[in-house]
Amino acid sequence: MIQAEAGQRKGALGRRLGLDGNVVGRVARTGQMAVVTYQDPEKTEGVPVLEGSVSAIALPVVYADQLHGVLYVETDQNADFPQEEVLFLGTLADLISGALHNAYAFQKAQEQAITDGLTGVKTHRFFMEALSGEWKRSTRAGRSFSVVLMDLDRFKFVNDFYGHLDGDIVLQRVAHILDQNCRRSDVVARYGGDEFVILMPETDAEQSQQLAGKLRSWIASDPVLREKNVTSSFGVATFPIHGSTPQELIQVADASMYLSKHQGGNAVSTADHFNPTRRNSGNVTSSKPILASHSNACLQRAPMRSLKFTAGSSSSRDLFPKQGRRLRGQTAIAHRKLLHRHSSPCRPS
């Protein structure tokens, strides 16, 4: 495909050229410079790129034996392209090849910096930046978005029984399922260990729960994961009803995921849900005490230097009534322990 053009005569930008039937394709195949004239169709391969051209020269754009493209120059006048012009065009092709190589290397480094090396989804850092940006946009526009946190059930058993290579295959399979079945606007990232997180822009609580339910079902029914008895627990939090800041949303999604774990796994929970019948018990209990107790335990074990106090929303005061009274409407957020839950001692396995 012609990516750039310059000169008095234009009109070829975006046109696709094959490897056969034209000079550009021949140079790309052979890696050798070619000078042609189109005045004698019997002695010229193919037709000019622009109608009316008489002479042309094509040079390969190569860097370290890797072909990046072809520099093609044609004119509507008869030209023999003297040695000085050929040398000049050769130098220009070298400069272009160096610039393209640097651009490709920078692009690859950027992709590696925001892509998890094992699973191919985005990194924790990229997700946090995307979450911050979406929070700012949604705050200005007054729209909803959701954060879905997911943890694999019985993943430790897979590593212990089958080995870490099989554990890596499980993580790659789960990442593939999430990436293939989420919307293009969603951001799928590896949060840490066997935890994944999904940012769902312009998605309310009901929509996010439905999407999380579908993802849970696809994971549970996957043959590779089902063979190793791997399922997933989801926690969902939606802005602004479950939190007014990114930290609060992650905290609520984290505690909601703990609720799914508490119920036996393979479930989707939010702070609004009630806990279904517990195992070995006929009692039906609200999810809020469970979420509060999980957060209380994390807060009690977190060092005081890691606590950060921010103004809490009404939903967070309802979720943590004791803290709300003691701190007069402020929510204690264990900044490091709760945002990096995989290192917290109160995290369920």
Q: Which residues of 218-229 are buried (b: 16+ CB within 10 A; e: fewer)?
A: bbeebeebeebe
Whether the per-residue pLDDT at 304 is higher than 50: the answer is: no
Residue 272 lies in a domain: yes
**Domain closes at, from 114, 147, 163:** 114
- The pLDDT tens digits of the residues spanning 69-107 come to 999 998 888 888 889 999 999 999 999 999 999 999 998
The whole-number average pLDDT for the span 12-21 is 82
Same domain for 78 and 195? Answer: no
85/321 Cα distance (integer angstroms): 80
Whether the per-residue pLDDT at 279 is higher than 60: the answer is: no
Looking at per-residue pLDDT, the higher value among 47 and 82 belongs to: 82
Smallest CA-to-CA distance from 248 within 141, 121, 139, 125 is with 139
Same domain for 88 and 172? Answer: no
Domains identified in the chain, total number: 2
> What is the pLDDT at residue 111?
84
Same domain for 131 and 244? Answer: yes
Residue found by looking up tokens 């070829």 in the block: 12
Range of the domain at 34: 23-114
128 band by pLDDT with thresholds 50, 70 and 90: very high
Same domain for 77 and 146? Answer: no
- The pLDDT tens digits of the residues spanning 146-174 come to 999 999 999 999 999 999 999 999 999 99
The whole-number average pLDDT for the span 261-290 is 61
Whether the per-residue pLDDT at 334 is higher than 60: the answer is: no
**Domain closes at, from 84, 114, 144:** 114
The whole-number average pLDDT for the span 176-184 is 96
Q: What is the pTM of this model?
A: 0.62
> What is the pLDDT at residue 142?
94
228/303 Cα distance (integer angstroms): 37
**Domain closes at, from 55, 81, 114:** 114
Within 8 A by CB and 6+ apart from 236, the residues are 146, 147, 148, 149, 205, 208, 209, 212, 253, 256, 268, 269, 270
Q: Which of 33-42, 197-206, 246-255 is predicted with the least confidence, judged by mean pLDDT?
A: 33-42
Quick one: angle between helices 246-262 and 124-141, nearest 10? 120
36/38 Cα distance (integer angstroms): 7
Check: CB of residue 60 under 8 Å from CB of residue 70. yes
> What is the pLDDT at residue 244?
93
Same domain for 128 and 99? Answer: no
| CATH code, 245 | 3.30.70.270
Q: Which of 208-222, 278-292, 311-325 is predicted with the least confidence, judged by mean pLDDT?
A: 311-325
The whole-number average pLDDT for the span 261-275 is 82
Whether the per-residue pLDDT at 290 is higher than 60: the answer is: no
> What is the pLDDT at residue 127?
97
Looking at per-residue pLDDT, the higher value among 16 and 118 belongs to: 118
> What is the pLDDT at residue 173?
97
DSSP letter for each residue of 155-189? HHHHHHHT-HHHHHHHHHHHHHHHHHHS-TTSEEE
User: Percent of the chain at pLDDT above 90?
Assistant: 54
Other Cβ atoms within 10 Å of 62 Cβ, number = 16
Same domain for 246 and 154? Answer: yes
Check: CB of residue 177 under 8 Å from CB of residue 215. yes
Check: CB of residue 278 under 8 Å from CB of residue 285. yes
DSSP letter for each residue of 279-306? TT----EEHHHHHHHHHHHHHHHS-GGG
